Structures are given as structure tokens and as C-alpha cells.
Amino acid sequence: MPLALIYARSENRCIGRDGELPWRLPDEFKHFKRTTMGRPIIMGRRTYEDHNNLLPGRTNIVLTSRRDFEPAEGVLVRHSLDDVLCEFDDGAGELFVIGGAGLFAAAFPMAQRVYETVVHAEVDGDTFLPDFDFSGWTHTVLEEHPADERHAHAFTVRRYDRVR
Ligand SMILES: NC(=O)c1ccc[n+]([C@@H]2O[C@H](COP(=O)([O-])OP(=O)(O)OC[C@H]3O[C@@H](n4cnc5c(N)ncnc54)[C@H](OP(=O)(O)O)[C@@H]3O)[C@@H](O)[C@H]2O)c1
């Protein structure tokens, strides 16, 4: 079953600022939680350190070059994306890359599916997503969420599937 990327980006492709998300969008977080629940999630060391704890109900895998890296209890550490793919692809469900930027870029050529949230705002930040080429992919709009009292920005969730 496919390797999948899941991320939220602004119109100007920002995904992070000062080690955090540059927005607070509770329903977008619910989508992330619902989509990844029960599945292995792969994250870079900085993304892991940003929340510094296990995301419950999922196999948490941190990628780092550091051989002496000590994560919280229950978090797995690995040193190469290829090793993770060999070890955790159970053929049954998706294996999720959840960030950050470098890991998304490394994983995109191998991904079969991308869950992309576009936050409809231009945002200042320090971490940006590369421009992915989705030619040869199809996409489906999963959700159009308006701005409201709990969400400062509207957002759109799409699922891209690689067809070739
Ligand atoms: N909007 C979103 O959807 C989203 C999602 C995730 C994160 N973020 C944001 O993005 C920012 C963090 O992302 P980032 O790009 O700075 O860092 P990151 O990708 O989370 O972490 C980078 C580190 O991960 C390790 N790493 C990455 N790829 C690896 C590989 N292929 N093999 C071995 N180790 C690998 C390396 O750790 P070592 O240096 O230890 O070797 C590298 O320095 C934060 O602001 C966070 O909030 C946003």
C-alpha cells in the first residue's frame, strides 16, 4: 500500500515558523488525526522535537542521522527512509510522511498519494515546501473549509493519486 505525504501549506508554500505551524486550524488538525490514525507516521528529527512526544494511536518513527538520539518512550528511531519503507510497509494501509520540508522532498518521488491542505493565506515563516510536479497525478477535493470564528483562514484539502 502506498507511501503517502500529508501536509498543510500556505498559498506561498510556507509550512513552518519557529518550529511550529504558522496557524491554528483545529478542523485541519482533525483531518490529519483522522487520516493518519492507526498507521505508521514518519517524521524528521526537528518535527519530532517540535511536539516532543508520541502522537497517540500511531507508530511514531523519527528519522535522524544521530546514532545517539534518544526519543520519548514508544517512539522509534531510524536512520534512512529506505529502511523504514522496507520495515513498515505491511502491504495493507498507508505509510505516512508527516514532515518536515526535507523529508517531504525526499519522499515525494516514492509517494503514491499526497494529502495536501492549502491554507488560503500568504504566511511568513522559515520552512517552505518545494514545488511538487503533479503532472501524472489525479486529484480529488476532500474538503473546502471556510474561515470562521475558530479558523482564521479558509483551507482546501485535496488528495492526489499517482497514476504513472
Ligand atoms: N505544515 C505542515 O504540514 C508541517 C508538517 C511537519 C512539520 N512542519 C514544520 O516544519 C518545521 C520542521 O521541518 P524541517 O524541514 O525544519 O525539519 P524536519 O524535516 O522535521 O527535520 C530535519 C531533520 O530530520 C532528519 N532527517 C530528515 N530526513 C532524513 C533522512 N532521509 N534520513 C535521516 N534523517 C533525516 C535530520 O535529522 P538530524 O539533523 O538529526 O540528522 C534532519 O536534520 C517546523 O516548523 C514544523 O512545525 C510543518
Atom of ligand 1 nearest to the CA of 47: 20
Instruction: State if residue 57 touches ligand 1 by the CB under 6 angstroms criterion.
Output: no
Instruction: State if residue 127 touches ligand 1 by the CB under 6 angstroms criterion.
Output: yes
Listed residue (153, 159, 157) closest to 25, CA to CA: 153
CATH number for position 90: 3.40.430.10
pLDDT tens for 122-163 read 999 999 999 999 999 999 999 999 999 999 999 999 999 999
Record the cell numbers describing residue 117, joined without a space.
491542505
Nearest-CA residue for atom 5 of ligand 1: 99
| pLDDT at res. 30 | 98
SS3 3: strand
DSSP state of 151: B
Judged against a pLDDT cut of 70, whether residue 1 lies above it is answered with: no
Domains of the chain: total: 1
Determine the structural domain holding residue 99 and report its residue range.
3-162
| pLDDT at res. 164 | 73
Instruction: State if residue 125 touches ligand 1 by the CB under 6 angstroms criterion.
Output: no
Record the cell numbers describing residue 145, joined without a space.
473549509
CA 18–ligand 1 middle distance (angstroms): 13
CA 89–ligand 1 middle distance (angstroms): 21
Instruction: State if residue 22 touches ligand 1 by the CB under 6 angstroms criterion.
Output: no
pLDDT tens for 16-61 read 999 999 999 999 999 999 999 999 999 999 999 988 789 999 999 9
User: Bridge-partner residues for 74, per DSSP?
Assistant: none
What number is the average pLDDT over the span 61-75? 95
| pLDDT at res. 2 | 85
CA dihedral for 17, 18, 22, 26, sign (positive or negative):
positive
Nearest-CA residue for atom 36 of ligand 1: 64
| pLDDT at res. 76 | 97
Kindly indicate the confidence band of residue 92, based on its pLDDT and cuts at 50, 70 and 90: confident
Largest CA distance in the chain: 45
